[in-house]
Chains A and B, each alone.
Chain A
Amino acid sequence: MTSQDYEGAATGASADVAHFEDEQKGLLGHFQHALHVTPALVPLIVLLVGISIFGLILGERFFSPGTLTLILQQVQIVGILAAAQTLIILTAGIDLSVGAIAVFCTVIMGQVTFRYFIPGAEGMFDCLIGASERDLARAIEAGTASGHCNPTLGSILSSVAIVIGLAVGTIIGAISGWLVARVKLPPFIVTLGMWQIVLAANYLYSRNETIRGRDIAEAAPPLQFLGTTFSIGGANFTLGVILMLVLVVVLAYCLRSTAWGRHVYAVGDDPEAAELAGVNVRRTLISVYMIAGFICALAAWAMIGRFSSVSPSASTGVVGNIQAITAVVIGGISLFGGRGSIVGAFFGALIVGTFELGLRMAGADPQWTFMLIGALIIGAVAVDQWIRKVAA
């Protein structure tokens, strides 16, 4: 066999590996590389620029701890929903049902508490099924004049209702996840259907009744727990805001530093490659949808805290999904999956909140906000495409 001799001609060749002058990359190239490595940088820059501009225009009125933390309070629901949306979009899916799940879970938490657990005078016995007669008598005695159970019992029972609400959110997520991962339906279709189903279930189950904030505060304070406010030097926080921040940190850790997180990225990047490389794609997908459902239910709890009442017709049910997707896209997470960070989505939510509040304080027509957000969405996707072209 002399057929391999042709390769001998290559022996005299230079052994250098192709390498390129760094200078050729230039400043723009380095910037592009930095963005490639840290995708959350773009929304952070936009956010800081936005805050600086409004700070310059509006001065102290905007650039104060009170106003800046007001932004956090205003974006907490969207921020939490965006965290759920981020997980789904990282797997190259999309979740149109996040807002609907959140509203449905507020209704579950509220109605379970007030319909089954502490239903008022005429439903008194329902709430104490299985209790002995003496216990019943004592409970009625302890109840308030209006027939409500006593506040301690109400607190315990409404905490149970919260757990039920969280479970319902997780189960809805599990159903979507099963349909996507097992039945192999497109996430867009599954969650489009789930959005309608959950929203309809929400109206049917709640009988379109609103539960008043005062009733909740009296009988079931744990429902409003995340609305608890505290201030540090002029900066106002609610526990819902803290929940959002903790959620972002925990998810950022999970996505970066655990095998599960790496699998989420791999599944979004190329599911077939991930499968062949040894990732259990189905289990990863189902877990992502379940966690997203659970996070939506957390958003529900935060919603009761923020609005204090429970309303099945809360606007989140209809626009929550689009708001969350907007935050995620502005946050630099690729809709094609596998790229971006949850911190980016958080910045995305803050950007929307900053522009909304800033433009309102500046007295601009709210339509300018939408116009600006629209431009930001297109800009963010354009930047994403540009970053993808990078060769480090």
Chain B
Amino acid sequence: MEPIIRATNLVKRYGKVTALDHCDFELMPGEILAVIGDNGAGKSTLIKAISGAVTPDEGEVQLEGQTVHFRSPIDAREAGIETVYQTLAMSPALSIADNMFMGRELRKPGWRGKVLKQLDRRRMEEFARQKLNDLGLMTIQNINQAVETLSGGQRQGVAVARAAAFGSKVIILDEPTAALGVKESRRVLELILDVKSRGIPIILISHNMPHVFEVADRIHVHRLGKRLCVIDPKQHSMSDAVAFMTGAKEPPVAA
């Protein structure tokens, strides 16, 4: 089977620091691939190189067999790759609907949209409410309330809903459960499985081993700027994974 995303030989240097050192990466269709690694291993840089936030110095990224050169997250988004950043990338003072449609607003049909460029608020609000309901994620009364008035879990939910609503090929989730409570984490995990069941592959970056082992099909272990190995969560234990990513244990020969 052809990987949906294949990155080969990625190199990224920040001054004297090498964040990515000839790193390879593969994401298969329909799978949940977890990316784990110690702090500073270069996970974030790898993900940014794929999501367009960082342009690698060397190497190439292929999406469905085609080489792509993303110069910004907008490029990646247009190609169907949606990312939920750890910072969530939301404007706190703007409403949920505004945030969901940021950068891809809907305009009213007819002259009001074409000439006056008027936004179609009703359509955007309906869509946003629909998506939040679909995910059964939360009880938000008012789709027009500012994002800053939401709790951490609700914000995360809105960000995931945004990605799930628009991501057509790949969804990248960076530490989606890091800031959440037990019940909220559970909902986000259910949501991840729900998105997977629709056939969209997911890249999940997480430090939470129980969460990773619960939902991931494969686990990419990142160490010292490159892929150390890819392991099957059914054949390895969490302590194995931690041992690999910290260098306490040698990786299996072939993944």
Contacts and interface: CB of A to CB of B under 8 A. Distances in A.
Interface of A: 1, 3-4, 7, 10, 13, 17-18, 36, 253, 257-260, 262-263, 265-266, 269-270, 272-280, 338-339, 390-392
A270 B119 contact: no
B73 A278 contact: yes
B13 interface: no
Contacts of A277: 89-91, 99, 102-103
A22 B91 CA distance: 26
A270 B91 contact: yes
B53 interface: yes
B102 A266 contact: yes
B243 interface: no
Contact of A276 (B53, B94, B117): B53
Interface residues of B, number: 41
B183 A273 contact: no
Contacts of A1: 210, 213-214
Contacts of A260: 117
Contacts of A265: 91, 93-94
Contact of B183 (A10, A253, A258): A10
Given A13-B183, A278-B102, 20 more contacts: A4-B214, A10-B183, A17-B138, A258-B117, A259-B107, A259-B117, A262-B94, A262-B105, A265-B91, A269-B93, A270-B92, A275-B72, A276-B85, A278-B104, A279-B102, A338-B91, A338-B93, A339-B93, A391-B149, A392-B149
A289 to B, nearest CB: 20
Nearest to A269: B91
25 contacts: A1-B210, A1-B213, A3-B213, A7-B182, A10-B186, A18-B151, A257-B116, A258-B117, A259-B105, A259-B107, A262-B98, A263-B102, A263-B103, A266-B91, A269-B94, A270-B92, A273-B88, A273-B89, A274-B91, A276-B85, A277-B90, A278-B73, A278-B77, A278-B103, A392-B142
A217 B104 CA distance: 50
Contact of B139 (A17, A263, A272, A391): A17
Contacts of A272: 87, 89
Contacts of B139: 17
Given A17-B138, A273-B88, A392 B145 contact: yes
B146 A279 contact: no
B74 interface: yes
A117 to B, nearest CB: 35
Nearest to B140: A17
Output the residue of A17, A390, A391 with the most chain B CB within 10 A: A17
B238 interface: yes
B210 A3 contact: yes
Interface of B: 53, 72-74, 77, 83, 85, 87-94, 98-99, 102-105, 107, 116-119, 121, 138-139, 142, 145-146, 149, 151, 182-183, 186, 210, 213-214, 238
Nearest to B102: A277
Contacts of B94: 262, 265-266, 269
Contact of A273 (B77, B83, B87, B107): B87
A30 to B, nearest CB: 14
Contacts of A10: 182-183, 186
A263 B74 CA distance: 14
A5 to B, nearest CB: 10
A276 B89 contact: yes
A299 to B, nearest CB: 25
B210 A4 contact: yes
A1 B77 CA distance: 36
Nearest to A265: B94
Contacts of A274: 89, 91, 102
A391 B149 CA distance: 5
Output the residue of B103, B118, B149, B186 with the most chain A CB within 10 A: B103
A277 B118 CA distance: 20
A272 B116 CA distance: 28
B92 to A, nearest CB: 6
Contact of B102 (A3, A7, A262): A262
A258 B102 contact: no
Contacts of B87: 272-273, 276
Contacts of A36: 146
A390 B148 CA distance: 9
Contacts of B138: 17
A3 B242 CA distance: 15
Instruction: Give the 4 A-B CB pairs with smallest separation, nearest first.
Output: A278-B103, A276-B89, A259-B105, A392-B149
A72 B92 CA distance: 35
B186 to A, nearest CB: 6
Nearest to B121: A257
Given A262-B98, A273-B88, A257 B214 contact: no
Nearest to B151: A18
B213 A280 contact: no
A390 B149 CA distance: 8
B118 A258 contact: yes
A208 to B, nearest CB: 44
Nearest to B90: A273
Contacts of B146: 36, 392
A17 B136 CA distance: 13
A391 B146 CA distance: 9
A22 to B, nearest CB: 12
B231 to A, nearest CB: 15
